[in-house]
Each structure stands twice: as structure tokens, then as C-alpha cells.
């Protein structure tokens, strides 16, 4: 690409990201409290997808067990807040550490096994996790769930359990919902930034090298085992931050939220957004959020004459979409956008440069 | 003094003896060629030195240290780099990043420093080194391109850049001239020689292109069916009847 073209490209990226930042920041001002709460719940989804994308997209390790790791983050936060009354951000950080350790433990078998066999191990983790929660329902509340509460003085001056909230400091002039959105958006932005730094570094190069050619990585001096296991840990920590935020927003955790279906949603978010890209998980989370909060409610409870419940069939619909998308646009939304940009760049250059130049910014294979 | 010593090395794959009691040593600063017909065991020897294959007997020493005591990922840091007969590039990375992967052993930023961007100085150095080598090999224009889709000869040179960026003391080249045109082969021979001179390099070269082998190497080992059948300066080896027989009676130059 010519220098002028690259400059134009950089400038349009800056403009687009600027507009996006403004829109994202303005949303809670424009939306009502209900919708602000809904879109805030997309943030933990984006974080889980970010973690899964680091593992699967960049490092080539498949996991369908991230729903369970997300759950470990959620339950850690619930227990820390209920038992020790830590500040919420401290509970999130502690959950990240706990999930890192859990991720390393789940990732250890990956040293001996690969590909589909690893997927099977994570499948087992995903399937067993809700059952373990049931087993220890004394602590976890099982499928009935566990409320995250604080003792607070009620209006009549009596101490009573009250569901935790994210309280906006008065100086902000924000409603609690708006504050929660901004705080967790900031946490997510920090996580995305760290992952971006990571994938563009020596560590990121070795992750991708392992994904594409393990022997080449090893011969170049990469300690494949260490990188794989640590990537699993970091990936789990990110999912754990998502789970922790999810728990705080719901003020409650229950085993039904952390089933295999949750894992599949994360996977769909990665594939829809575009794997091995930084924006992909965020875009994928928005797509899934829109689907869950806008499309699903619009579906009929029953479709006559078969009396099908379309709402209950959403995982099926999502799964079908996933398969179709993988066939039609394997690069996801980000990949398709890159391809489109490359094609437009080619068209823009044609009159000046004569023969059609080959696109150099095409989607990664 | 010899830099690499291969002593009585044997490798078996089931019933196949890929290396049979192979012994030779390479002096520091040499360009040392390893030749022999297909299946002679040349790549197998590279894989032993890279620690990808475990020999059933024998010893391999590099600058006095026992290589067989090291895991594969520690070989690069000890000063050995290599290229692959069938290319082992990373299609998901740009040309520049592919070369930068080669600097892994010579750098240290881990998860912590990388995630917090405390690696900036090191990254700058790696990029400068990688770009310098790409430039040296006439590939600077391609730095930002994805590797996928580039011509075979170009990919071979990218691998050479990746091997060189770690500033190795010993460079193993597995058929670097395969797929190149005559002019390119001559140029490559010159490049290998000058890299050796500029970087105090020792080169172990596996190559079927006899013109290049005879032109640039100081010493040659000829292998057949896993065993060494001749050793010496190029001219001696070329005239050796056992060598001529191994190459099915054809004069060596024409193979
Ligand atoms: N991983 C392996 N598993 C089984 N057999 C192998 C393996 N690697 C090499 N061999 C066998 O070992 C012998 C030597 O192979 P090698 O690849 O070292 O030959 P080479 O000298 O490099 O040949 P070429 O010139 O064709 O590259 C061959 O018989 C080959 O089939
Ligand atoms: Mg070979």
C-alpha cells in the first residue's frame, strides 16, 4: 500500500474509533435504566469471549469449558462479598487470580493432549461444574442460587440483608445503573488493552507460532508447555473477571448460568466477532447481546400449528447461525470488514495505478 | 577447535536405521556440508541436533556442552539456529513477525512485561534487528505482508532471516537452494559465505545442489543409508569412488 493510502487508512481508523468511543460512552445517557442494565450485562460476555479468543483464536487451544471458569469467577466473587465483605473491585481482582489458578489446572492436560481431545477434557469440565455446584449446594445454593447480600439498616432502623448494588458516588451525579456501566466498561477496557499489548508482543508471537507451527516455535526457543499453560491461565482469569462482574450485576449466582450453553455462547461470540482479533470478542458480544435482548423477546412463545416454543429454541437458532456463519464468513465480522476494506482499497487505487494491485491488507488466512 | 561433535549417533525408526554410528566434527568458522542421496539421514541428523529426535545411542556436544541433556526449546539459546527442508513458517504472522519469532531465545519479556508494555525497548531492538536482516536479504519491502502466498524462494529466505536474527554461532541449513533458479543459487552461496564472514558463523549445510556444495564448503561428509561413507575437502570427496557409487554411478557434478 502507498504511504498516502496508509495515512488515509490510519486516519479513517482514528475517526471510526473516535465515533465508537463517543457512542459507547453516551449510551447510558440515551438509554433508560432497563436498557442500561441490559447492555451492562454484555460486558461480562465480552470479557469471557476475550479470554476464550486469546486461548482459541491466538493460541489454537480449544475450550468449551469457559462457562465453568466464568462460573468459578462468579462464585468466588459471591463468596468473597458475602463472607468477607471486600470492596467489589477487590473481589473481582481476587476472582481473576483464583480463575488463573483454575485455568492453569484445566490447561495442564493440554501439555499431553491436543485438539479434539483437549476439547473433550474441557467438555467434561463444563458438564461437571453445575453438578459440583449441586453437590455443594450448602455453600453454593445449587440451582436455587445464592444471593449476594449486605447487611444494611432499613428505613425502620433494623439491620437486614439487602442485595448488593453498585452505588454511584454522589459527586458523579450518575444513577447507580449508569455508574455500574462506566465502572465495568473501564475494567473491560483495561482487560482489552492488556490483551492487545500481549498479542502484539514476544509472548503473542509465540502464542501464534504455537498455534500455527509448534515445531517452529520450539526450535525458535519457545517453551511451548509454559506458554500454553500460562495462556490458559490468563484466558481463564479474563473469563473470571467477566463472571465476577456478572455476579455483581445480578447480585445472585445460580448453577443454571454456568452450563455448557454458556460456554457455547462465548464460542459463538468469538466466531461471530472474528477470532484472533482484538475487536472481535467485543463485536461478537454485542451481536449476541442484541440477539438475546432484542431478537429473542420478539420470538413467539408458540408457533402454531406445531406448538413449538421459539424462545426455548434460541440455543438451537444460535448454533445454526454459528455453523452457517463459519461456512459463509469464517473470519467473522472483523474478517469480513477487513476483506471489504481491502477490496475498496483496490478499487480506489485502480484509476491512479493502472493495473489492479493485489490487496495487501486482506484478511488473515 | 571443534564446535559441534557428533559421536557414534544412532537413530532408529522401527526397523529403519536412519543414522548408523555417525561420527564427525565441525570446526568453528567452517562451512561444512552434509550430502547424500534421498533418505540418507541428513534431516534426521538436524532433528537430533535440534533435539526433536532422541538418538538411541551416541553423544552430541556443542562447544563442549552435552546437547542431549537439553530440551528442544533450550537449543536456540545455546547458539544453534536452523531452517527446515519443508519450510516451517507461521502463516498467521507477518514476514517481520516471523523473523521476530527467531529472536525469542535472545529476548526475555514474559506475560507480565508484555501485557503492561514494559517491553518497549526490547521490542524496538527486535524489530530493528529483524528489519535489518530482511533488508540484508532483499526482503525489506515485504516486512508487513502476511507470509501466506509468497513465492517458495522468498519463504526460504525469510526462514534464513528468522534463523539469523538470534545471532547463532551454528547455523543449520536444510536444502536452502531447493526450488531456486541458477542465478538465485549462486547469489545464495555468496550470501551464506558473507554471513559466515560477518557474523563469525559456523554453517552446517545440507544440499543436493552440488555446484553450491563444492563451491562454498570447506569440508564435506557424505552419507548413505545413515552411515558416513566419505569425508574431506570437496575435491577429494568428489573423486571418491564410494561416493560416485552411492550416487548410482553418476559423476557427482551432474546430480
Ligand atoms: N519421523 C520419522 N519416522 C519414521 N521414519 C523416518 C522419520 N524421519 C525420517 N525417517 C526415515 O529415516 C530415513 C532418513 O530420512 P531423512 O529425512 O533424514 O533423509 P534425508 O537424508 O534428509 O533425505 P532427503 O534428501 O530426501 O531429504 C528415511 O528412511 C526416512 O524414511
Ligand atoms: Mg532431508
| pLDDT (tens digit per residue) in A258-267 | 988 899 899 9
Residues that place a CB less than 5 A from ion ligand 2:
B 42-43, 85
User: What's the CA-to-centroid distance between B179 and ligand 1, angstroms?
Assistant: 20
The whole-number pLDDT of residue A357 equals: 40
Q: How far apart are CA B91 and CA A200, in angstroms?
A: 16
Letter string b/e over residues A106-124, b meaning 16 or more CB atoms within 10 A of that residue's CB: bbebbeeeeeeebbebbbe
d(CA A191, CA A184): 11
Q: How far is B73 from chain A (nearest CA, A)?
A: 4
- Find the helix or strand (DSSP H, E) in which B108 lies: none
Q: Are strands B57-62 and B170-174 parallel, antiparallel or unpaired?
A: unpaired
| Separation of first and last alpha carbons in chain B | 33
CA of B4 to the centre of ligand 2 (A): 20
pLDDT in tens, A224-267: 999 999 999 999 999 999 999 999 999 999 998 998 889 989 99
Protein residue whose Cα sits closest to atom 16 of ligand 1:
B41
Considering every ligand atom shown, identify the ligand nearest to the alpha carbon of residue B13 and give its number.
Answer: 1
Residues 6+ apart with CB under 8 A from B67: B49, B51, B60, B61, B75, B78
Q: Single out the residue of A196, A150, A158, A186 nearest to residue A54, CA to CA.
A: A196
A221 vs B75: CB contact, 8 Å cut-off?
A: yes
Asked if A365 and B148 come within 8 Å (Cβ–Cβ), the reply is yes
Average pLDDT, chain A: 87
**Domain layout of chain B by residue ranges:** 1-79+168-255, 94-167
R_g of chain B, CA atoms, integer Å: 19
Show the ligand 1 pocket: residues with CB < 6 angstroms. Answer: B 13, 16, 18, 36, 38-44, 85
pLDDT of the residue at A261: 87
pTM: 0.91
Where does residue B148 fall: left (phi above 0), alpha (psi -120 to 50 degrees), or beta otherwise? beta
Residue B82 has what pLDDT? 97
**Cα(B120)–Cα(B106) distance, integer angstroms:** 15
Residue B17 DSSP SS3: strand
* B54, HSE (Cβ side, Cα atoms, 13 Å): 4
- Supply the pLDDT for residue A360: 41
Q: CB of A230 within 8 Å of any CB in chain B?
A: yes
- ipTM value, please give it: 0.94
Label residue A354 by pLDDT band (50, 70, 90).
very low
> A142-156 in b/e burial notation, b at 16+ Cβ within 10 A?
beebbbbbeeeeeee
Chain A to chain B Cβ contacts (< 8 Å) = 104
- Please check whether residue A205 is in contact with residue B130, taking contact to mean a CB–CB distance below 8 angstroms: no
Question: Cα separation of A92 and A94, whole Å?
Answer: 5
Q: Do residues A342 and A349 make contact, with C-beta atoms less than 8 angstroms apart?
A: no
Q: What is the mean pLDDT of chain B?
A: 93
Between helices B120-136 and B152-164, what is the axis angle to 10°?
130
Question: Alpha-carbon distance B139 to A189, whole Å?
Answer: 37
Q: Among A55, A71, A44, which residue's Cα sits nearest to residue A259?
A: A71
Residue nearest to atom 7 of ligand 1 (CA): B13
Pairwise CA distance, residues A162 & A85, whole Å = 13
CB atoms within 10 A of CB B76: 24
Average pLDDT of the segment spanning B122-131? 96
Which residue's C-alpha comes closest to atom 26 of ligand 1? B38
- For A15-45, write each residue's pLDDT tens digit: 988 999 999 999 999 999 999 999 999 999 9
In contact, A53 and A66? CB cutoff 8 Å: no
Query: CA angle, corner A180, sides to A179 and A184, nearest 5?
Result: 120
Q: Which residues of A touch B119 (CB under 8 A)?
A: 201-202
Question: How far does the centroid of ligand 2 lie from the alpha carbon of residue B208, in Å?
Answer: 10
The pLDDT value given to residue B253: 52
Fold of B1-79+168-255: Rossmann fold (3.40.50)
Q: What pLDDT does residue A225 have?
A: 94
CA-nearest residue, atom 30 of ligand 1? B39
Amino acid at each position: 500500500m502507498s504511504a498516502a493510502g496508509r495515512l488515509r487508512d490510519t486516519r479513517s481508523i482514528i475517526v471510526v474509533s473516535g465515533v465508537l468511543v463517543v457512542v459507547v460512552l453516551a449510551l447510558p445517557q440515551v438509554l433508560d435504566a432497563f436498557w442500561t442494565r441490559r447492555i451492562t450485562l454484555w460486558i461480562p460476555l465480552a470479557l469471557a469471549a476475550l479470554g476464550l479468543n486469546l486461548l482459541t483464536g491466538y493460541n489454537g487451544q480449544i475450550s468449551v469449558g469457559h462457562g465453568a471458569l466464568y462460573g468459578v469467577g462468579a462464585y468466588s466473587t459471591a463468596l468473597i462479598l458475602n463472607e468477607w465483605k471486600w470492596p467489589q473491585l477487590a473481589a473481582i481482582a481476587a476472582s481473576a487470580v483464583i480463575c488463573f489458578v483454575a485455568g492453569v489446572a484445566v490447561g495442564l492436560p493440554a501439555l499431553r493432549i491436543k485438539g479434539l481431545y483437549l476439547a473433550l477434557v474441557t467438555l467434561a469440565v463444563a458438564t461437571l461444574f453445575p453438578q459440583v455446584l449441586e453437590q455443594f449446594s450448602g455453600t453454593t445454593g445449587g440451582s436455587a442460587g445464592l444471593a449476594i447480600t449486605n447487611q444494611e439498616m432499613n428505613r425502620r432502623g433494623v439491620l437486614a440483608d439487602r442485595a448488593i448494588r453498585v452505588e454511584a458516588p454522589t459527586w458523579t451525579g450518575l444513577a447507580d445503573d449508569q455508574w455500574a456501566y462506566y465502572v465495568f466498561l473501564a475494567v473491560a477496557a483495561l482487560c482489552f488493552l492488556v490483551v492487545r499489548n500481549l498479542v502484539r508482543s514476544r509472548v503473542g508471537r509465540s502464542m501464534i507460532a504455537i498455534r500455527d507451527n509448534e515445531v517452529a516455535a520450539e526450535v525458535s526457543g519457545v517453551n511451548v508447555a509454559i506458554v500454553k499453560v500460562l495462556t490458559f491461565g490468563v484466558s481463564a482469569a479474563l473469563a473470571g473477571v467477566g463472571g465476577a462482574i456478572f455476579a455483581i450485576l445480578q447480585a445472585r449466582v445460580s448453577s443454571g448460568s454456568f452450563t455448557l450453553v454458556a460456554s457455547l455462547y462465548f464460542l459463538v461470540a468469538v466466531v461471530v466477532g472474528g477470532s484472533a482479533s482484538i475487536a472481535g470478542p467485543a463485536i461478537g458480544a454485542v451481536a449476541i447481546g442484541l440477539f438475546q435482548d432484542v431478537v429473542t423477546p420478539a420470538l413467539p412463545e408458540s408457533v402454531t400449528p406445531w406448538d413449538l416454543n421459539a424462545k426455548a429454541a434460541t440455543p438451537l437458532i444460535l448454533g445454526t447461525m454459528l455453523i452457517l456463519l463459519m461456512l459463509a464468513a469464517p473470519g467473522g465480522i472483523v474478517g469480513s470488514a477487513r476483506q471489504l476494506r481491502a477490496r475498496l482499497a483496490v478499487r480506489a487505487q485502480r484509476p491512479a495505478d493502472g493495473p489492479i494491485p493485489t490487496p495487501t491488507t486482506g484478511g488473515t488466512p | 577447535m571443534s564446535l559441534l561433535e557428533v559421536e557414534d549417533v544412532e537413530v532408529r525408526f522401527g526397523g529403519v536405521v536412519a543414522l548408523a554410528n555417525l561420527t564427525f566434527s565441525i570446526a568453528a568458522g567452517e562451512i561444512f556440508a552434509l550430502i547424500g542421496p534421498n533418505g540418507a539421514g541428513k534431516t534426521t541428523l538436524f532433528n537430533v541436533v535440534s533435539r526433536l529426535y532422541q538418538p538411541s545411542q551416541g553423544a552430541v556436544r556443542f562447544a563442549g556442552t552435552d546437547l542431549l541433556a537439553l530440551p528442544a526449546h533450550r537449543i536456540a539459546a545455546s547458539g544453534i539456529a536452523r531452517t527446515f527442508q519443508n519450510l516451517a513458517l507461521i502463516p498467521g504472522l507477518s514476514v517481520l513477525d516471523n523473523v521476530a519469532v527467531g529472536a525469542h531465545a535472545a529476548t526475555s519479556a514474559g506475560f507480565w512485561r508484555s501485557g503492561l508494555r514494559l517491553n518497549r525497548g526490547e521490542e524496538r531492538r527486535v524489530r530493528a534487528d529483524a528489519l535489518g536482516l530482511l533488508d540484508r536479504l532483499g526482503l525489506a519491502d515485504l516486512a508487513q505482508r502476511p507470509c501466506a502466498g509468497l513465492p517458495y524462494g522468498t519463504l526460504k529466505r525469510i526462514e534464513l532471516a528468522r534463523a539469523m536474527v538470534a545471532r547463532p554461532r551454528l547455523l543449520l541449513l536444510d536444502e536452502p537452494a531447493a526450488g531456486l533458479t541458477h542465478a538465485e543459487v549462486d547469489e545464495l552461496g555468496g550470501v551464506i559465505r558473507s554471513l559466515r564472514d560477518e557474523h563469525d558463523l559456523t554453517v552446517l549445510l545440507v544440499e543436493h545442489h552440488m555446484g553450491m556444495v563444492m563451491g562454498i564448503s570447506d569440508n564435506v561428509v557424505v552419507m548413505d543409508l545413515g552411515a558416513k561413507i566419505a569425508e574431506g575437502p570437496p575435491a577429494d570427496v568428489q573423486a571418491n569412488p564410494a561416493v560416485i557409487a552411492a550416487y548410482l554411478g553418476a559423476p557427482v557434478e551432474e546430480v
